[in-house]
């Protein structure tokens, strides 16, 4: 099949999956994977090759950049120790556990270690697609782990392949590779994000801003690869930094355009990737001799079970060690139950990175001989991906309900408090902003009434579910707002008694004044919102949600920007 036929086939399959998944109440990635497996029975479809460069250079930069842009930086800082252990120690433990079981089943040790490196890392796109029923904190920790563990897996893979093709490595060499992968990847991400900041802060055209934004993940990946560091980690670091500084280098129009285009592109690439995984599984299965299928199927199931057990055991061991070493009250609040660790084990999906690693295995050694076990590595890796998606995916909601994880309502409370905080700040600043921008009292009072009505509606929603402590904070905020408003009204009355009434402006002039004052108030609300984030009072997700509403409101006032 030619490229156009493949593109149309993928597009039709993704569209069909998007239509049917809600009707059958099935997660779309699972449906697309099954569709890919079914289409793989067609001989022409099995001829479609998925080069590893396609996954590493086309799919992953976009998918990982968007996932990192929507990841909470505060959550990463808060649970950094656990995320670091899972993205390094767990990957190493999983890789060697898988290598041990594969070697015991009959795979050569070098090939077994390559297989372990391939299936050890969890996949960020699969986690993002299938793990959203988890409580937010659990989901963010798992997502952050999946975004950062590829660096460790790729180092293990590089060492294993080097040994398999005839190379030799000392412990010092391996340490250097690990440092280069992580430090080099992080440095590349920081450097590219810094350059992006310098460029984008000088742009104001919506199209130009988003073209520059699109170049960031590919540039970060390229720079990291040039210095033989982790391109995946470079993309993730660049995405986290860009997400944090985005308000200072973008406009309301560019943010809205990005919010429309990036999810669509990510959705299409992610869906196509799951279909292509199904194609690849069928292609590999038909290349393996029939007499070996049974043995490889047993190995696949054994490797899959080892990954589940290794994840649970590593988490349990880590919790026990941390409890012995760290008895601070703040640490006790982070402790997880065995049920939560079982949920985490089931939520450890494998996906695109594992398949790309397996497909990257060289065909021959340095001596020109065929590398033993390559086909087996690809088959088992593809089989593990299918099992994690088709078994763990449907099983996860059941396990989450069984685990009875505590509800995570902190985000909703932070959202409501942030809304009230920025609205209160806006009301407090209306009088001064109106004076600074030459706005009449009539327009100022009109906007003040609008914000009071919004504040009252928000009060009704909050009072229905907030706890006593939150209600007390709201009451304090209301008293400050009422006091400020009363003082402003008294000052306005006194001024009105002393001044001679001026002619009323025309309706068009009043609308222009009203719009100008609303824009000034929106800018003040953004300032308060970003200050709350810097202080750690609200999560990045809260900032994104409120910023979206403020951007939409600004565009309603100013009109949608016309692209040059």
Q: What is the CATH number of the domain that holds 155?
A: 1.20.1530.20
What is the arithmetic mean of pLDDT over 459-480?
60
* pLDDT for the residue numbered 495: 45
Query: Does 341 lie in the same domain as 208?
Result: yes
Does residue 249 sit in the same domain as residue 189?
yes
pLDDT at residue number 93: 94
CB proximity list for 289: less than 8 A, separation 6 or greater: none
Residues 223, 57: Cα–Cα separation, whole Å: 12
Helices (H), 250-326: 252-287, 290-325
Same domain, 491 and 382: no
Mean pLDDT to the nearest integer, 201-226: 93
Which pLDDT value is given to residue 211?
A: 95
Q: Are residues 226 and 305 in the same domain?
A: yes
Last residue in a domain, options 403, 422, 456: 403
pTM for the predicted model, two decimal places: 0.82
**pLDDT score recorded for residue 289:** 80
Name the band, by pLDDT with cuts 50, 70 and 90, for residue 117: very high
If asked whether residues 206 and 233 sit together in one domain, one would say yes
User: Do 58 and 159 fall within a single domain?
Assistant: yes
Same structural domain, 291 and 247: yes
Distance CA 147, CA 189 (A): 13
Q: Examine the fold and report which residue of 403, 432, 450 is the final residue of a domain before the chain moves on.
A: 403
Has residue 115 been placed in a domain? yes
Could you give the angle at the alpha carbon of 66 between the alpha carbons of 62 and 71, nearest 5°? 145
Q: Is the residue at 27 inside a domain?
A: no
**What number is the average pLDDT over the span 235-247?**
93
Number of domains comprising the chain: 2
User: Mean pLDDT, to the nearest integer, of 387-392?
Assistant: 91
Q: Judge if 322 and 423 occupy the same domain.
A: no
User: Does one domain contain both 356 and 429?
Assistant: no
Same domain, 294 and 440: no
| Domain presence at residue 25 | no
Domain that holds residue 543: 410-558
The DSSP symbol for 58 reads I
22 occurs within a structural domain: no
Name beta bridge partners: 234: none
pLDDT at 69 over 50: yes
Lowest mean pLDDT among 107-116, 294-303, 490-499: 490-499
Residue 344 within a domain? yes
Burial of 132 (0-12, 13-18, 19+ CB in 10 A): exposed
Is-contact 311 347, C-beta < 8 A? no
What pLDDT score does 451 carry?
75
Asked if residue 11 belongs to a domain, the reply is: no
Residues 321, 236, single domain; the answer is yes
| Average pLDDT across the chain, whole number | 83
pLDDT digits (tens, 9 = 90+) for 136-149: 888 888 988 988 88
User: If we measure between CA atoms, which residue out of 9, 33, 554, 481 comes closest to residue 251?
Assistant: 554
Closest-CA residue to 381 (of 41, 1, 86, 95)? 95
| Structural contact between residues 173 and 219, judged by C-beta atoms closer than 8 angstroms | no
In a domain, 243, yes or no: yes
**Domain check: are 230 and 290 in the same one?**
yes
Mean pLDDT of 510-537: 86
Calculate mean pLDDT across residues 88-103: 94
Please write the tens of the pLDDT for every residue from 119-170.
999 988 888 888 878 888 888 889 889 888 888 888 888 888 888 887 777 7
Measured distance CA(212)–CA(242) in Å, rounded = 11
Q: Does the pLDDT at position 414 exceed 70?
A: yes
Residue 228 within any structural domain of the chain: yes
Contact yes or no for 32/17 (Cβ under 8 A): yes
The domain boundary residue, chosen from 403, 428, 449: 403
Residues 394, 42: Cα–Cα separation, whole Å: 27
Residues in the chain: 564
- pLDDT-derived band of residue 343, with 50, 70 and 90 as boundaries? very high
Q: What percentage of residues in the chain have a pLDDT greater than 70? A: 87
Q: Which of 290, 281, 495, 287 is nearest to 381 (CA)?
A: 281
């Amino acid at each position: 099949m030619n490229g156009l036929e493949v593109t149309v086939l993928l597009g039709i399959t993704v569209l069909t999956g998007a239509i049917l998944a809600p009707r059958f109440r099935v997660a779309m990635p699972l449906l697309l994977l099954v569709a890919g497996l079914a289409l793989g029975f067609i001989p022409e479809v099995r001829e479609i090759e998925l080069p590893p460069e396609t996954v590493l250079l086309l799919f992953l930069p976009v998918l990982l950049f968007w996932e990192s842009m929507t990841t909470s930086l505060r959550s990463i800082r808060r649970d950094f120790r656990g995320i670091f252990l899972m993205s390094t120690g767990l990957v190493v433990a999983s890789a060697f556990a898988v290598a041990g079981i594969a070697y015991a089943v009959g795979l050569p040790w070098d090939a077994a270690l390559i297989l372990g490196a391939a299936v050890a890392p969890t996949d960020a796109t699969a986690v993002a697609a299938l793990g959203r029923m988890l409580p937010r904190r659990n989901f963010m920790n798992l997502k952050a782990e999946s975004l950062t563990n590829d660096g460790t897996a790729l180092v293990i893979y590089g060492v294993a392949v080097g040994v398999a093709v005839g190379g030799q490595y000392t412990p010092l060499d391996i340490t250097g590779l690990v440092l280069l992968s992580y430090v080099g990847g992080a440095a590349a991400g920081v450097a590219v994000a810094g350059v992006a900041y310098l460029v984008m802060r000088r742009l104001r055209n919506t199209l130009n801003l988003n073209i520059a934004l699109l170049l960031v993940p590919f540039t970060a990946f390229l720079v990291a690869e040039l210095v033989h560091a982790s391109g995946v980690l470079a993309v993730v670091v660049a995405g986290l930094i860009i997400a944090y500084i985005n308000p200072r280098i973008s406009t309301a129009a560019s943010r809205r355009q990005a919010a429309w285009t990036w999810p669509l592109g990510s959705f299409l690439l992610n869906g196509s990737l799951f279909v292509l995984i199904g194609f690849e599984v069928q292609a590999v299965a038909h290349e393996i001799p029939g007499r070996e299928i049974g043995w490889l199927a047993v190995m696949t199931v054994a490797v899959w079970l080892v990954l589940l057990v290794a994840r649970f055991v590593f988490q349990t061991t880590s919790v026990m060690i941390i409890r012995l070493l760290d008895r601070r009250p703040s640490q006790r609040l982070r402790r997880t139950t065995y049920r939560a660790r079982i949920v985490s084990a089931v939520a450890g999906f494998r996906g695109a990175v594992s398949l790309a690693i397996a497909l990257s295995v060289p065909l021959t050694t340095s001596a020109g001989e065929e590398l033993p076990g390559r086909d087996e590595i690809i088959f088992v890796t593809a089989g593990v991906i299918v099992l994690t998606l088709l078994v763990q995916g449907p099983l996860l909601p059941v396990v989450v309900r069984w685990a009875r994880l505590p509800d995570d309502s902190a985000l909703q409370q932070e959202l409501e408090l942030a809304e009230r905080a920025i609205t209160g700040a806006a009301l407090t600043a209306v009088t001064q902003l109106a004076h600074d921008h030459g706005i009449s009292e009539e327009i100022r009072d009109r906007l003040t009434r609008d914000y009071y009505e919004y504040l009252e509606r928000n009060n009704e929603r909050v009072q229905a579910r907030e706890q006593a402590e939150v209600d007390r904070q709201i009451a304090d905020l209301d008293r400050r707002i009422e006091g400020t408003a009363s003082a402003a009204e008294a000052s306005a009355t006194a001024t009105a008694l002393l001044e001679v009434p001026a002619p009323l402006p025309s309706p068009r002039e009043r609308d222009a004044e009203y719009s100008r004052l609303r824009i000034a108030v929106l800018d003040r609300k953004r300032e308060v919102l970003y200050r709350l984030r810097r202080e750690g009072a609200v999560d990045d997700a809260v900032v994104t949600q409120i910023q979206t509403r403020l951007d939409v409101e600004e565009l309603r006032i100013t009109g949608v920007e016309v692209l040059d």
